[in-house]
Structure 1
Amino acid sequence: MPRKQHPPSALIADLRQARIDQGLTQTDVADALHVGRKQVSDWETGWAVPLVTSAQEWASVLGRRLTWEPIGVDVSALLGELDDEL
């Protein structure tokens, strides 16, 4: 099955910009997260989506903290949409 590229979310774009602003490379972030540089590149370019825990760790490496607020979204409906795409 071919890989599908998705536009990076605003969160990922913000994390990428924070990395650049701090003068860090993708390799620096990858080393801190114990993943390969390609994984960070794939997250930043939309070829992969990080797990929530990975995004939280990534933000922490950059001195940031992610918070989550309920937005009234039916999660079961979202999961159903994901199943349809797979």
Structure 2
Amino acid sequence: MTKHTLSLTDKLAIDRTRLANERTFLAYFRTFIVFLSSGLAIIKLDMLIEIRWIGIMLSGIGPVLFLIGLIRFLYVKRSIKKYYIS
């Protein structure tokens, strides 16, 4: 692969892409926190015993969302380094 000289516009575009990747990961992380905390709250409250299954489901979905976000973040980060950073 030949090394290309990047213009300032290209360098700024790479920085914007990197920042967008971080924002997306943080959105996944926020969603993970909300799902996990909501699920645990439903499980802990005795007056919500009828919908405890929803709490268990939310508590299970939260870590899956976190893993999806982490894998996606690392994949995009590696792609940026591979194709754009010399």
Do they fold alike, i.e. is TM over 0.5? no
Q: What is the TM-score with the length of structure 1 in the denominator?
A: 0.29
Q: Which has the higher contact order (CA 8 A, sep 6+)?
A: 2
Q: Which has the larger radius of gyration?
A: 2
